[in-house]
């Protein structure tokens, strides 16, 4: 498993032991009280170790494969002062990292670079997932970032033509050539920040709301060559996800028109060719999902414990509220609290109670039964820490990796 997906290893780091320990201790007491028929202990004031922060719902693209389609351009906005107050408190209580990502294009947030500077002043690790359309905003942000931080551009194509078909930018002049021309400028602004080219692999038959989306397996190698030439540090490949009617993001290879093994063989052949381009300055990564799809074992990652413990340790803050998981972003039954969830003492108490309610009522074994959840093994590990009182938390600690993105 690539280190960025080793969430158990990340939660074994001594720097986050306090947050995990508080959570496990509370859950142990809760289980004991339930068994004894005693009143349940109140939820402690917990802040997540890591958040996905959707800065805006606005987007200047209309991507055919977008999984956040229903929440885009909904006009919901933060009051920036309130957002800053909440984040400042969270950082003081154990929040370690922020991924500026989805539900809209983060760089459209006003004064984006300055906002990244604010997060860095709070001592947080910061990552940016962007469509790459606002190069100057990325240059401005990069100037504030450190070696542990990263920027990833969602590009998914190797030619300008396929890029336009897949992403449908509102500005027709936007294309891959233009976006890639900003990479050397970002690197010049800060050479230590890793910049990645993200490629979601889409195959014939994948769909959004029954609207068929463009296949891009044939441009995998072209994209890898383009990424290397443009100065990206890496390209990463992962299979497309779809939204179910329930709102969950799932990987459903059964929808492919051809036999799944045929699709997988084509993907594998192209990814292997792309890997030939890797060298000391350029990496080619494939997501764990791709490997699971190939092994036919993706459904093993759909067997979740009843309680998803990651809800307490990694959350999704959006202008429409605080949600329990990126796979359920914007879905009402996955909502913990409002957008000002951590702003003041009253909001924080409601958030703690909302989290306790969701931990009790959100049955991940059914709600996420179709989700190939990359947090599957870490959830089962935490389940064991709670259920087995013999486990000494201090004995579970591992090495400090300085990577707090969950």
Q: What is the contact surface with ligand SF4 in residues (CB under 6 A)?
A: 304, 308, 310, 324-325, 327-328, 364, 368, 371, 373, 375, 379
Q: Whole-number minimum distance, CB 82 to ligand SF4, in Å?
A: 26
Q: What are phi and psi of 357, to 5 degrees?
A: -60, -45
In the complex with ligand SF4, which residue's Cβ is closer, 116 or 368? 368
Task: Find all residues with CB under 8 Å of 316, minimum gap 6, and list them.
Answer: 51, 52, 54, 322, 323, 324, 325, 326, 329
Task: Find all residues with CB under 8 Å of 342, minimum gap 6, and list them.
Answer: 47, 86, 87, 89, 90, 348, 351
3-state SS class at 78: coil
Rounded to 5°, the CA angle 337-368-355 comes to: 25
Q: Count Cβ atoms within 10 A of the Cβ of residue 348 and give its class: 0-12 exposed, 13-18 middle, 19 or more buried.
A: buried
Q: Whole-number minimum distance, CB 291 to ligand SF4, in Å?
A: 18
Q: Whole-number minimum distance, CB 220 to ligand SF4, in Å?
A: 27
Parallel, antiparallel, or unpaired for β 234-239 and 211-212?
unpaired
In the complex with ligand SF4, which residue's Cβ is closer, 116 or 336? 336
In the complex with ligand SF4, which residue's Cβ is closer, 56 or 307? 307
Q: What are phi and psi of 314, to 5 degrees?
A: -145, 120
User: What is the spatial distance between Cα 124 and Cα 104, in angstroms, rounded to a whole number?
Assistant: 22
Q: Whole-number minimum distance, CB 326 to ligand SF4, in Å?
A: 7
User: What is the spatial distance between Cα 400 and Cα 10, in angstroms, rounded to a whole number?
Assistant: 8
Q: Whole-number minimum distance, CB 337 to ligand SF4, in Å?
A: 16
In the complex with ligand SF4, which residue's Cβ is closer, 7 or 150? 7
Q: Whole-number minimum distance, CB 288 to ligand SF4, in Å?
A: 13
User: What is the spatial distance between Cα 191 and Cα 185, in angstroms, rounded to a whole number?
Assistant: 10
In the complex with ligand SF4, which residue's Cβ is closer, 322 or 364? 364
Q: In the chain, what is the straight-line distance between the N-terminal and C-terminal CA atoms, in Å?
A: 15
List, in sequence order, the alpha helices (H) in 13-79: 17-36
User: What is the spatial distance between Cα 247 and Cα 179, in angstroms, rounded to a whole number?
Assistant: 31
In the complex with ligand SF4, which residue's Cβ is closer, 369 or 397? 369
In the complex with ligand SF4, which residue's Cβ is closer, 267 or 374? 374
Taking every pair of Cα atoms in the chain, the longest distance, rounded to a whole number of angstroms, is 66
Q: Whole-number minimum distance, CB 355 to ligand SF4, in Å?
A: 12
Q: Whole-number minimum distance, CB 305 to ligand SF4, in Å?
A: 8
In the complex with ligand SF4, which residue's Cβ is closer, 32 or 333? 333
């Amino acid at each position: 498993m690539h280190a960025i997906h080793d969430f158990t290893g990340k939660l074994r780091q001594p720097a986050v032991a306090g947050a995990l320990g508080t959570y496990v201790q509370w859950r142990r007491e809760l289980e004991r009280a339930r068994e004894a028929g005693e009143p349940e202990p109140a939820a402690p004031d917990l802040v997540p170790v890591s958040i996905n922060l959707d800065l805006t719902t606005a987007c200047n693209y209309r991507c055919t494969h977008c999984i956040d389609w229903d929440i885009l351009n909904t006009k919901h906005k933060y009051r920036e002062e309130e957002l800053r107050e909440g984040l400042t408190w969270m950082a003081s209580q154990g929040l370690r990292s922020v991924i500026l990502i989805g539900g809209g294009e983060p760089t459209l947030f006003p004064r984006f670079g300055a906002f990244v500077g604010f997060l860095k002043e709070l001592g947080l690790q910061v990552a940016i997932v962007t469509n790459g359309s606002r190069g100057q905003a990325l240059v401005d942000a990069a100037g504030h970032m450190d070696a542990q931080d990263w920027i990833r551009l969602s590009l998914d194509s190797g030619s300008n033509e396929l890029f336009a078909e897949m992403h449908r930018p509102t500005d027709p002049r936007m294309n891959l050539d233009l976006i890639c021309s900003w990479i050397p400028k970002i690197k010049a602004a800060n050479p230590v920040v890793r910049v990645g080219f993200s490629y979601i692999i889409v195959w014939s038959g994948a769909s959004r709301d029954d609207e068929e989306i463009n296949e891009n397996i044939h441009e995998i190698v072209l994209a890898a060559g383009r990424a290397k030439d443009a100065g990206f540090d890496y390209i990463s490949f992962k299979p497309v996800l779809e939204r179910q009617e329930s709102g969950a993001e799932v990987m459903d290879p059964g929808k492919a028109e051809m036999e799944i093994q045929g699709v997988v063989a084509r993907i594998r052949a192209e990814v292997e060719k792309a890997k030939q381009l890797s060298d000391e300055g350029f990496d080619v990564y494939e997501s764990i999902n791709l490997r699971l799809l190939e092994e036919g074992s993706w459904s093993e990652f759909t067997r979740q414990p009843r309680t998803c413990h990651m809800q307490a340790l990694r959350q999704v803050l959006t202008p429409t509220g605080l949600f329990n998981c990126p796979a359920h972003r914007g879905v009402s039954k996955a909502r913990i609290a409002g957008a000002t969830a951590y702003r003041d003492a009253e909001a924080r108490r409601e958030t703690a109670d909302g989290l306790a309610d969701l931990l009790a009522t959100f049955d991940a074994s059914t709600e996420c039964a179709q989700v190939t959840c990359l947090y599957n093994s870490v959830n089962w590990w935490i389940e064991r820490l709670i259920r087995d009182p013999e486990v000494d938390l201090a004995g579970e600690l591992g090495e400090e990796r300085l990577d707090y993105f969950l």
